[in-house]
Each structure stands twice: as C-alpha cells, then as structure tokens.
C-alpha cells in the first residue's frame, strides 16, 4: 500500500488489486461512520482510494501504510435489478471469445451477481465486477463514435451500462431501458460503489 499526498488536505492510497481497493473503501467508510475518521469524500477507483478533506493527511498516511486492512465484509443491501435484452451487436464476438453460444453468454451474465466497484467515465456509469477472470474481454480495436444510452457492455473484467450516448470501445452485449442518471432524482445516480446488481433478461435474447 502506498499513500501519496494530493494538495494540502487529500490523500491518494494505492493498493495492489481491485479487491484490496474495495476492502480499503469499506474500512474507511466504517471508520467515518464510527466517528474515528473525519474526511469529506472517499472515492474508490480500480486500484486506488482518494480521501479528500483530511485534517492531517500525513498522520493517516503513516497509519494506513503500517497497518493491515481487514477483508471487505460480505456485500449487503438490496439488489438493483436491471432488465436487459441481450441483443447487442458484439454478442456473437463475445460468445466466440468465451467459446460458448450467444444464448450461453446471456445466461452466464444474467446468473452473475455484480457489485459496483467504482464509478467514473460519465455521470451514473458504474464499473461492475463479478464475472470470473476467464470471462475478461478486450476492448474493441476501433471504438464506436456513438454508443446509445442503455447499452450493456463488457471490457476487461468489468460490465457497465452507458447512462447516455457517448463514444465507447466496450463490447456491447445488450440493452436496458433503465435510467442510470437522472438529475431530478435523489440520488441522481442509480448505482454507487458497493451497490449489488443483477441483470434480468427480458424479451429476445
């Protein structure tokens, strides 16, 4: 674990894996809830956690780098279900990469419980983990100039849903009509770090 100062009151903590980042994020949230950590924001990413608004970043950096972070607790909370049509233009390519049929891709994906590891790229976009490493897929060699809102996509170890139309290089396997980001909703983002997610097949697959 490595802790790097960011400005006067922030700290970027680097860890070795996504699982370690999830465990550290959970531990820091626990400390803040207990009142033993005063921090304005705790923002997880793939292998880092950013803490912003610390009174004494140097002291916390020393503490974190000399202590062992406990394993992340079992995921709790309700599961967000996203209806999905497995009709994406890259479904056949993903099936070929996995060595299964397109129908089996849909079954494997829908049978998996995902968790939002972190958010980014666009408001409302969550990086979901849960598929075993053997199902990692590469990004497209040539990104699309426009991916429609609601596209369910895979890249590397992650599943994601595009909250709005944007360029993108992920492999598109399906479509959902669920609104991921709505500025009139509280909270605006449907998905946040730690949220449990399942995809529920509807219609043609």
Cα separation, 61 vs 46, whole angstroms = 19
pLDDT in tens, 155-185: 999 999 999 999 999 999 999 999 999 988 8
pLDDT at 100: 97
Other residues' Cβ atoms within 10 Å of the Cβ of residue 152: 26
The token duo for 167 is 């360029």
Residue among 202, 102, 197 nearest 159 (CA): 197
Give the pLDDT mean for 118-137: 93
pTM: 0.81
Distance between the two ends of the chain, CA-based, in angstroms?
43
H or E stretch including 128? strand 126-129
pLDDT over 90 at 53, yes or no = yes
H or E stretch including 95? helix 91-98
pLDDT over 90 at 16, yes or no = no
pLDDT at 204: 54
pLDDT over 50 at 107, yes or no = yes
Cβ neighbours for 154, distance < 8 A, ≥ 6 positions apart: 94, 131, 135, 137, 160, 170, 171, 173
């Amino acid at each position: 674990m490595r802790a790097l100062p960011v400005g006067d009151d922030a700290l970027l903590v680097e860890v070795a894996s996504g699982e370690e980042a999830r465990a550290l994020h959970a531990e820091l949230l626990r400390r803040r809830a207990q009142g033993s950590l005063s921090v304005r924001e705790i923002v997880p990413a793939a292998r880092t956690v950013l803490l912003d608004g610390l009174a004494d970043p140097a002291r916390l950096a020393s503490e974190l780098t000399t202590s062992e972070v406990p394993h992340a607790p079992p995921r709790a909370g309700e599961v967000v279900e996203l209806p999905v049509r497995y009709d994406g233009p890259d479904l056949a390519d993903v099936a070929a990469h996995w060595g299964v049929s397109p129908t089996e891709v849909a079954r494997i994906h829908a049978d998996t419980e995902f968790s939002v590891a972190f958010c980014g790229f666009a408001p409302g976009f969550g990086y979901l983990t849960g598929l075993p490493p053997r199902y990692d897929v590469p990004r497209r060699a040539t990104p699309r100039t426009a991916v429609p809102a609601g596209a369910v996509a895979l890249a590397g170890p992650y599943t994601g849903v595009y909250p709005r139309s944007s360029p993108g290089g992920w492999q598109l396997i399906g479509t959902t009509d669920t609104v991921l980001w709505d500025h009139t909703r509280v909270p605006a983002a449907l998905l946040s770090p730690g949220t449990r997610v399942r995809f529920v097949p509807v219609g043609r697959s």
